A = this chain, B = another copy of it.
Amino acid sequence: MRRITATLLVTLLPYPALAQKSTVSQPWPPAAPQQAVPSPRPTPVPPAQVAQEVRDYRLNNEDRIVRELGELLSIPNIASDTENIQKNAGKLREMLEARGIETHLLPIQGRGPVIFGKLTQREATRTVIFYAHYDGQPVDPAAWTDGKPFEPALRTNSIEAGGKRIPFPQPQPGERAEYQDDWRIYARSASDDKSPIVMLLAAMDALRAKKIPIAVNVKVILDGEEEAGSPNLERVVELNKNLFTGDVLITCDGPVHQSGKPLVFFGNRGVEDVQIAVYGPIRALHSGHYGNWAPNPAFWLSRLLASMKDETGRVLIEGFYDDVTPLTDREKKAVEEMPQNDAELMRELEFAKPEGGGKKLAELINLPSLNIRGLRSAYVGEQSQNVVPEKAEASLDLRLVKNIDPQKQFERLVGHIRKQGFYVVDREPTREERLKYPHIAKVTYSGGYPAIRTSMDLPVSRKVVEVVEGAAGETVKAPTLGGSVPMYIFERLGLPVIGVPIVNYDNHQHSSDENVRLGHLWRGIEVYAALLADLTW
């Protein structure tokens, strides 16, 4: 152990100086990186030992890690909030450069840039690209317990488990604050997806402090529009294709398995967001004077939505499942081996019967889905008005699996809506159309991209599992993550894409009261450190 440490002292030299700021006038595209001079590879430190040393570092640096995360979470990060999303990018650039990562902001008009970072190791033969995103889902502050999604709050546990809000520790210089694993930080993007960025950087800090060499060239891609469907990422990647060469892409997005075990996944579902509006009279009408004569768009929307799925949750749209590529035997086996915790999960989520006709969650995620993510027509509750509404709206998301084309799936949906007797438009209907067609639906989609699935049989696939299990113990292997990340962009570049998420599953991702559990963060640092130190194959 001592001998290894001594050896590592030497290998530390290739690290670029810390906090080396790039100047604004830096030329772009940058000059090709210096050719790494081959040098003898250090004996790799086994993952379990990396994890242990990193843990020791972390125990003495929790304050610093939490403070860095807290500062990042304090910057509002909705993709469409141009000013703030740029502030996030500026902050992240500083954070990356502080670790000696050569950082470039690849600009997108009116949105946050794609942040690209590169850290070359003289002795490395493999290049590992880490992907995360720094934007978050839209927020409705009124729906948050603390009312302020961008003022990180510390709690002694999850709100559901009665976690009390406590101040962030303010240790005196030289003092170490006491953090508990069950504590949680509440803020938008606490889990999705700022924590993984901070943990990856903390992993680098820990390795450096413990003098464990990074065994691979590291590239980092931080997307500023993931929650908005990454509409520009593909173009930016195309324009800068030469930057994105590598041997594997590790995506840091998503939660670990509900069992609490670490997770490695080999694909993710694609997604497209669909908005549907159904029309009634041109203006809301008094429901007494017009109440069983003027057509009610909320009824017609209800009928339309009800027609889309049967009571088991099976989608009734023609052809919806036609293009599904069956799982391979190995993938089926992986699904079978995943922990059986659906019943526990139902108890925790307090519902009595899942959709899926008896299939378990892990299986269902390998099928396409159709979800109503929102409904709106006039007002409910205290704000109710006695009207026949002029419009009723639904927001859907369709999840796609390997081989389903987003445009084709959208067309199947539109075909179904037409079959229900609707005249379909992609903009507000005209007066003439309203007077001609009894039922009109405006149907539009955005953010569509396909699913991916990397073979679990690739050497790199096996190696990632080996390193994660070495660092963090028994790991769940999933052919597909239920969520969506635009990894098709990288798959098209020929990169195998593998997911190594770190955050707790009960993180309220995409909803109010998003949070991250500290214990998961700590383990995430160990896992990422082990990948940096050992992902060679």
User: Which residues of A are interface residues toward B (Cβ below 8 A)?
Assistant: 80, 137-138, 140, 160, 254-255, 268-269, 271, 273, 275, 279-296, 298-299, 301-303, 305-306, 308-309, 311, 313, 342, 346-356, 360-361, 364-365, 367, 369-389, 392-395, 397, 399, 431, 434-439, 481-484, 505, 508-513
Closest 6 CB pairs of A and B: A288-B483, A353-B438, A298-B372, A292-B369, A289-B482, A284-B511
A279 to B353, CA, bound (A): 12
Q: Which of B80, B280, B295, B351 is the one whose CB lies under 8 Å from A280?
A: B351
Residue among A311, A373, A484 having the largest count of chain B Cβ atoms under 10 Å: A373
Q: Which of B379, B482, B508 is the one whose CB lies under 8 Å from A373?
A: B379
A365 to B292, CA, bound (A): 7
A387 to B139, CA, bound (A): 13
Known: A302-B305, A364-B292. A435 touches B352 (CB 8 A): yes
Interchain CB contact under 8 A, A483 and B298: no
A393 to B361, CA, bound (A): 26
Instruction: Collect the chain B residues with CB atoms within 8 Å of residue A483's CB.
Output: 286, 288-289
Instruction: Collect the chain B residues with CB atoms within 8 Å of residue A305's CB.
Output: 298-299, 302, 306
Instruction: Collect the chain B residues with CB atoms within 8 Å of residue A288's CB.
Output: 268-269, 271, 397, 399, 481-484
A24 to B256, CA, bound (A): 70
Interchain CB contact under 8 A, A140 and B299: no
Instruction: Collect the chain B residues with CB atoms within 8 Å of residue A283's CB.
Output: 160, 349, 508, 511, 513
A140 to B381, CA, bound (A): 13
Interchain CB contact under 8 A, B303 and A381: no
Instruction: Collect the chain B residues with CB atoms within 8 Å of residue A303's CB.
Output: 302, 306, 311
Instruction: Collect the chain B residues with CB atoms within 8 Å of residue A365's CB.
Output: 289, 292-293
Q: Which of B309, B313, B379 is the one whose CB lies under 8 Å from A140?
A: B379
Interchain CB contact under 8 A, B354 and A295: yes
What 19 additional pairs, Cβ within 8 angstroms, besides A271-B288, A294-B355, A351-B435? A138-B385, A273-B384, A275-B381, A282-B349, A286-B483, A293-B356, A293-B361, A293-B365, A295-B355, A296-B313, A299-B306, A299-B308, A303-B306, A347-B435, A371-B386, A375-B376, A376-B377, A376-B380, A385-B510
Known: A285-B349, A305-B302, A435-B347. A355 touches B296 (CB 8 A): yes
